[in-house]
Amino acid sequence: MYNVIRKNLVASYFFIILVTIFTTHFLLSTRHIYFVDGSNYLGIFLDSLLMTGIVFPILYYFFLRPLTSEIKERKKSQADLQVALEKSELSDRLKTEFLAQMSHEIRTPINVLVNCAQSIKEELDIPVGSDLSIYIDELEIGSRRLIRTIESILYMSQLQIGAYNPTFTNVELKEILTEKVKELEQSAQDKGLQIKLNIQATDYTIIADKFSIEQIFQHLIENAINFTFQGYIEITLSKDDQQKIFFSISDTGIGISKDFLPKLFLPFTQEDQGYTRKFEGNGLGLALVKEYCKINNCKIEVSSLKGNGTTFKIIFL
């Protein structure tokens, strides 16, 4: 719309210039004899006034008035945009503050429950395997599961509303991966699984957002442990033929059907749906992984066969 107005104004401007030149030339030509003779200056003055009286209204009507209206409209549009921008920024701040507050208010009392359960178990010296010990263990497991669910929902909400602000620094992938494997290794051992960690002796420092990289590793390792019941989990950090760093994790688990692969990274989706499903989870882990890969300019690939395990590969571009 603005371009159309500009074109009309330019056309009007050139038209006025042509009219002005013609009028000026015509009037001066008709009075040339009086100018040469040095007489009838009053007539020339009156002709000038007449020319001004003719040209100025035309100039104003075809050029100045539309230009003035356009300027007013643009100022009004800019003011409206500024108001909308301020409202949007306020809304984003409120959403961010709400998510942060909810995260704190929900996680804090649950962490208190977990800590209290652990303290009770230690203080009373409850025998392992007793009913009370099992109840306390279930309380701790359930609380941690609830915390993970809440965190996943909050993190996904942050990403969807644009409230997550990544911080890009030099990140050592080897260090982060090693820490995550140590952190989750006990869960694998409890299921009788072996974790094979293959890291070549080279530098794996990249510019990335550390928190989201940690989340990528954690979700993929946890998934491999959850969906594998026997065998092993093999984790590799290396470089390909093009010297691009990649992370891969392969398991001997239940695998993923070919039909479900296109839906794999959609939020709140699981291959086994409903209350009778065999596996825990909220269907947000891989959706978060996908979003975090976008933030860090990573490419994610997956290959799987139902009943024959799954392999995820993250390529750092």
Q: Could you report the per-residue pLDDT of 80-92, keeping only the tens digit for each? A: 788 777 777 666 6
CA distance 247 to 237: 5
The residue ranges of every structural domain in the chain are 2-86, 97-161, 168-316
Q: What is the pLDDT of residue 162?
A: 79
Q: What is the pLDDT of residue 138?
A: 81
pLDDT in tens, 124-179: 777 777 777 788 878 877 777 788 888 888 888 888 777 788 999 999 999 999 99
| Strand locations in 129-263 (E) | 168-172, 194-199, 205-209, 232-239, 245-251
Q: What is the pLDDT of residue 274?
A: 41
Q: What is the pLDDT of residue 150?
A: 80
Decide if 265 contacts 287 (C-beta within 8 A).
Answer: yes
CATH number given to 168-316:
3.30.565.10
Question: Which own/partner pairs from 102-108 qualify as long-range (CB within 8 Å, at least 24 positions apart)?
Answer: 102/154, 103/150, 103/151, 103/154, 106/150, 107/147, 107/150, 107/151
Decide if 163 contacts 92 (C-beta within 8 A).
Answer: yes
Decide if 99 contacts 146 (C-beta within 8 A).
Answer: no
Is the pLDDT confidence value at 257 over 80?
yes
The mean per-residue pLDDT over the stretch 292-316 comes to 93
Q: What is the pLDDT of residue 128?
A: 72
Q: What is the pLDDT of residue 276?
A: 40
In this structure, the strands spanning 168-172 and 245-251 are unpaired
Q: What is the mean pLDDT of the chain?
A: 78
Judged by DSSP in three states, 289 sits in helix
Q: What is the pLDDT of residue 131?
A: 78
Residue with the bigger pLDDT between 74 and 257: it is 257
How open is the CA angle 184-190-191, to the nearest 5 degrees?
A: 100
Confidence of residue 113 (pLDDT cuts 50, 70, 90): confident
Residue with the bigger pLDDT between 207 and 149: it is 207
In this structure, the strands spanning 194-199 and 232-239 are parallel
Exposed, middle or buried: residue 247 (CB in 10 Å: 0-12, 13-18, 19+)? Answer: buried
Exposed, middle or buried: residue 312 (CB in 10 Å: 0-12, 13-18, 19+)? Answer: buried
Q: What whole-number percentage of the chain has pLDDT above 70? A: 68
